[in-house]
């Protein structure tokens, strides 16, 4: 019954922007910590940005100042606005939801629900 669906990925030039969406059904996103993770070929999955049930936001150093995470409770959707994209941002991006405490937001194993991912490619 629980489903997370990412959308908004695609091919973009360096310096461009994309907005990723994570639409939820079967759970209320406002009750969970939500994480955006990404995985590039040959690399481990890494945390990108997080928003807690209390609305606190966190960012990986590599994206701080360029990405913004937000939540629209009325639409039960979390967004990741990505600006000034770089080739090293290329990856499959996943959203995840879980009852995760503040100190464990960066750990993929703490999240019980995952979307299928959306491809982001940044290339000239």
24-56 pLDDT per residue, tens: 999 999 999 999 999 999 999 999 999 999 999
Residue 35 near residue 20 (C-beta atoms within 8 A): no
Residue 107 has pLDDT above 90, yes or no: yes
Confidence at residue 70, expressed as pLDDT on a 0 to 100 scale: 97
Residue 37 near residue 47 (C-beta atoms within 8 A): yes
Confidence at residue 5, expressed as pLDDT on a 0 to 100 scale: 97
User: Distances from the Cα of 86 to the Cαs of 11, 16, 61, in angstroms?
Assistant: 12, 8, 14
Between CA 120 and CA 89 the distance in angstroms is 8
Q: Which two tokens stand for residue 94?
A: 């996943």
Between CA 1 and CA 105 the distance in angstroms is 24
Confidence at residue 1, expressed as pLDDT on a 0 to 100 scale: 87
């Amino acid at each position: 019954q629980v489903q997370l669906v990412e959308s908004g990925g695609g091919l973009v030039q360096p310096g461009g922007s994309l907005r990723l969406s994570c639409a939820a059904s079967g759970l209320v996103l406002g009750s969970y910590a939500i994480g955006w993770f990404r995985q590039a070929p040959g690399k481990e999955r890494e945390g990108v940005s997080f928003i807690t049930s209390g609305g606190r936001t966190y960012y990986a150093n590599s994206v701080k100042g360029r990405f913004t995470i937000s939540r629209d409770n009325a639409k039960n959707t979390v967004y990741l606005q990505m600006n000034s994209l770089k080739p090293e941002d290329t990856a499959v991006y996943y959203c995840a939801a879980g009852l995760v405490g503040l100190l464990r937001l960066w750990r993929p194993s703490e999240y019980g629900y995952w979307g299928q991912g959306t491809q982001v490619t940044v290339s000239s």
